[in-house]
Amino acid sequence: MRNSSQHAERRGPSEPLRDSVRQTLSLLEEVVTTGGPQLTAREVGRVVSVGQGVARLRGLPGVEAEELVRLQGGVLGMAYNLDPEEVGAILLGASRELTAGSLAHRTGRILDIPVGEELVGRVVDALGRPLDERGPLRLAERRPVERPAPPILRRAPVARPLQTGLKVIDSLLPIGRGQRELILGDRQTGKTAIALDTILNQRDKNVICVYCAIGQRSSAVAKFLEYLRRYDALSYCIVVVASGDEPPGVQFIAPYAATTMAEFFMERGQDVLIVYDDLTRHARAYRELSLLLRRPPGREAYPGDIFYVHSRLLERSTQLREEYGGGSLTALPIAETQAQNISAYIPTNLISITDGQIVLSPQLFRKGILPAVDVGRSVSRVGGKAQMPCYRAVASELRLSYSQFEELEVFSRFGTRLDEDTIAMLERGRRVREVFKQPQYKPLPVPEQVAVLLAASEDLLNAIPVERTAEAEQAIRKAVVTELPDLGERMASGAKLTKDDRDDLRRVIGAIVADMGEVEDGASA
């Protein structure tokens, strides 16, 4: 009996053991058949030479244009020159650790960046990596940096205004949603200030703003970010930074990456404003890369495709049709001139690509006429169709009369006797110029702008001295808000000015001018 029990004890534990062995063998068989190690072919090349922002590679016969290449040390490069013997790559990082002979291999994917709602309110670099120390971005969707522009059949006419909050622009050079308006001028004339005021004016207007800094000093970018935070504008902005310290390849891809981020919102039916600051530095970065890659230079040493570089970027800004979402992407590219030479190579190219230009004058800037917009040389080729009716009612003749005043003022300095009509035109023009002056960081709503422009266009301010025009403007703006709130709401909603509306505005403005005139008479007495 004892032998049989011992034999049973020895057989008992063997059944679970067999089961576990069977399970283990089945798992191993499954792993071998489905998830076993697989051999994958990978093209590996070597660095032939390294330059300032570029590298020349050999041994990558199947690499594609704009494909990401991973170099030794984790540095990323973008294949750009596909020559028979070697590949010219644009480096997207520091090249200090790269030397001739370093390994390089294909990644199999085109240069792309993350896009999504989480980008709003963040500061990122051209590759979508956060720079604001607010933690990583968890974005699942990625899109290529280079994307084709929307075809013609998907585009709708520009028919909705984009208010800048600046009187001289909204009245004389209106911008529509989906338009591309170039801001042009010498350095230190207020180009970025106009873009910043436009961004500040989009608060509570359901417009996403994207600011792309290209080749700017880090201190200038930090100052811009400080103003966005101070005026609570960063909450609806995306800031893409490729400062002057970055390699030229990063500066080159920055505006395309920013546009891809903006297109994500446009294709979802939202309105987006994008500012490129500035495309002159972008062109210089591309010229540097092209010369390092030994591409043949053309005019001013720029490569032959510099026009296409900017046209394929700006053509992505448009107003989509309703069946494709109805969103819009409005572009404000900035370009720098030298000695007001708007016929230089890059400014001429950008003028021919965009739908108008806002030209800033250093002479007006030095005189304190800010924003220093040269009305005679500025134009908006599309936005007039999108301008609010209340602006057209009060500013239709203002542009012509103001341009005539500027020419007449120059010639009047050479004459001693002027007729009464000339004197009246000069007096009116001086007051219009004072009205167009506007401090920075203070964009104005539509009703206040229209009231002040009506006063200037109908000579209602002629009874007060020129130096008191700013004081009268302040009183008019305040009176419109307090005494005519219903009229202000109608103007802001896009309604036309009726005869009764104009009479109400004249009555309010006339009372203010009369009070100021009485004070002036009392003071003189």
> Residues annotated as binding site for ATP?
185-192
Tally Cβ neighbours within 10 Å of residue 489: 12
Contact 130, 138 (CB under 8 A): no
Active site residue 129: no
Catalytic entry in 147, 381, 430, 490:
381
| Distance separating alpha carbons of residues 356 and 386, to the nearest angstrom | 14
Nearest Cα to Cα of residue 395 among 356, 446, 321: 446
Cα-Cα end-to-end distance for the chain: 139
Q: In three state form, how does the secondary structure of 15-50 look?
A: HHHHHHHHHHHHHHHHHHHHCCCCCCCCCEEEEEEE
Helix axes 248-266, 279-292, angle to 10 degrees: 130
Q: What b/e sequence results for 384-405 when a residue is b if at least 16 CB atoms lie within 10 Å of its CB, and e otherwise?
A: bebbbebbebbbeebbeebbeb
| Distance separating alpha carbons of residues 450 and 161, to the nearest angstrom | 15
Q: Amino acid identity of 146?
A: E
Torsion of the alpha carbons at 21, 23, 25 and 27, rounded to the nearest 10: -150
List the binding residues. 185-192
β-sheet bridge partners, residue 441: none
Backbone phi and psi for residue 266, each to the nearest 5 degrees, phi listed first: -60, -40
Q: Amino acid identity of 310?
A: H
CA distances in angstroms from 479 to 462, 469, 475, listed in the order given: 19, 15, 6
The encoded tokens of residue 188 equal 């230190």
| Distance separating alpha carbons of residues 215 and 347, to the nearest angstrom | 17
Contact 513, 461 (CB under 8 A): yes
The encoded tokens of residue 142 equal 């990625």
Helix/strand/coil for 184: strand
Active site residues: 381
